[in-house]
Amino acid sequence: MMTHNQHSILFLATEYESGMRPYACTIIHNMWNERSHAIVVIKDEKYKQDFADLDPERVHFIHYPTCKLGKLVFRFFPNKLIKSIFRLLKEFNIELVYSLTGELVLNTSIKKIQKHIPVLYTVHDAIPHETKLPFLSLIKERLIVTWPQQALLKKTPIKITNSKAQLRFIEQNFSDSIVHYAPFPSLVNTDIANGDAQVPETKAISNYILFFGKIDIYKGVDLIYKCYCTHPELQKMQLVLAGAGNYFFSTTSKIKNIVIINRFLDDKELADLFSKAAVVVYPYISATQSGVISIASFFKKPIVLSNIDYFKEVANGYPGISFFKNGNIDDMAKAICEAVSENVSSEQLYKDVYHPSEMTNKLTDIIDKIVGNDDAIK
């Protein structure tokens, strides 16, 4: 763990969308100091293990309601969370609230908090992702996620993003905001790096084409599935689609070499999943920012990416990284074949882009500037 300037920071991690938990954990651990506090909303006691090495007196857990009515009330009136925030602000002379996971539940109370203290608000998706949901589910998504997300963008004057493209978008569309940029943190924690659990579904196979992540339309999972099914040259290897979610396309192909692992994979399973892959493919049709590349590059795998702006911004020019034209499955198949044939490690990308010092040094500078500069909080 690294120690930095001793600013008193209150970290907030209240959301559990895909990738949010490891994102928050990485930043909290790398920026933690003797005056830090964190409020973490958890769905299960097992999530406490992520913070077991930190002072338990300064990590404050709030349990997410289990019943539907309780969840709905918490989304709009998170009274326990608000009380905890103001108690800590008063008791420990907090200098900055660092919102890590979007904190959509604070939509109705963020202005009240900002009257007392500056809030550094992390923007994950300034532009909502493509989605394909039934009508009622779409309304729920907009009510709970999209609308609060857009409202918070307008209400928070100090923002931070991990995407240069998103930085430009915010600067152009929210000109009254002060926007900071820091590199995306690695999502590789100790359990991922040293995990020894075997993935049952891939026990008997190796050297496969891997997609890993939550199943969502913007991630282009349907494209890699279609690409594999229509290109016999790929079918010499198996295709593994690993991650929980609702499949929005038909997966009834008669091709036997496709393994679908439609469940949440424990962090300790990922070393086995990635180490046995021949190539990792991320066929996203859009992304504002993402940390998925960090895991594949940590395990030194060849990586095939769609040529969306964010991926090019992060990975262009590195060994072991191949791009294909976004949405073009013929180009994707060609890139996969070449990546497998050349078998070049992507390790250098991890060393240069995802090393903890890159993120922590930048965040330290940003926090110093905010805490020490009144102009940064107006």
Q: Which residue has the tokens 């309780």?
A: 70
Q: Are residues 246 and 335 in the same domain?
A: yes
Q: Which residue has the tokens 């008791």?
A: 91
Contact 152, 106 (CB under 8 A): yes
Query: Token pair for residue 121?
Result: 């608000």
Beta bridge partners of 9: 96
User: pLDDT tens, 240-297?
Assistant: 999 998 888 888 888 889 999 999 999 999 999 999 999 999 999 988 788 889 999 9
Residue 108 in any domain: the answer is yes
Residue 1 in any domain: the answer is no
| Domain that residue 22 falls in | 9-185+355-377
**256: which DSSP letter?**
T
Q: 26: domain CATH number? A: 3.40.50.2000
What DSSP element (H or E) covers 259?
A: strand 258-261
Q: Are residues 217 and 135 in the same domain?
A: no
CA–CA dist 86, 12 (Å, integer): 13
Q: Are residues 150 and 289 in the same domain?
A: no
**Higher pLDDT, residue 28 or 45:** 28
CA–CA dist 19, 124 (Å, integer): 11
Q: Are residues 366 and 344 in the same domain?
A: no
Q: Are residues 307 and 203 in the same domain?
A: yes
Question: Which backbone phi and psi does 174 adopt, to 5 degrees?
Answer: -135, 70
| Single-letter amino acid code for the residue at 229 | C
The angle formed by the CA atoms of residues 359, 33 and 105, to the nearest 5 degrees, is 75
Residue 211 in any domain: the answer is yes
What number is the average pLDDT over the span 305-312?
95
Residue 27 in any domain: the answer is yes
Q: Are residues 273 and 369 in the same domain?
A: no
Q: Are residues 44 and 180 in the same domain?
A: yes
Q: Are residues 156 and 177 in the same domain?
A: yes
CA–CA dist 215, 210 (Å, integer): 13
| Single-letter amino acid code for the residue at 93 | N
Residue 173 in any domain: the answer is yes
Q: Are residues 27 and 144 in the same domain?
A: yes
Q: Is the pLDDT of residue 191 over 60?
A: yes
Residue 307 in any domain: the answer is yes
Q: Are residues 126 and 250 in the same domain?
A: no
Sign of CA dihedral 107, 109, 112, 117: negative
Q: Is the pLDDT of residue 228 over 50?
A: yes
pLDDT recorded at residue 16: 72
Query: Token pair for residue 326?
Result: 């976004």
pLDDT recorded at residue 376: 46
What SS3 class is residue 162? Answer: coil
Q: Are residues 146 and 276 in the same domain?
A: no
Residue 2 in any domain: the answer is no
Residue 3 in any domain: the answer is no
Q: Which residue has the tokens 């030194």?
A: 300
Contact 302, 320 (CB under 8 A): yes
Number of domains in the chain: 2
CA–CA dist 374, 257 (Å, integer): 60
pLDDT recorded at residue 375: 47
User: Sorting pLDDT into bands at 50, 70 and 90, what band is 57?
Assistant: very high
What number is the average pLDDT over the span 76-98?
95
Q: Is the pLDDT of residue 366 over 70?
A: yes
User: pLDDT tens, 111-163?
Assistant: 999 999 999 999 988 776 656 666 666 676 667 777 788 889 999 999 999 99
CA–CA dist 162, 289 (Å, integer): 6
What number is the average pLDDT over the span 80-94?
96
Q: Which residue has the tokens 């036997």?
A: 256
Q: Are residues 17 and 120 in the same domain?
A: yes
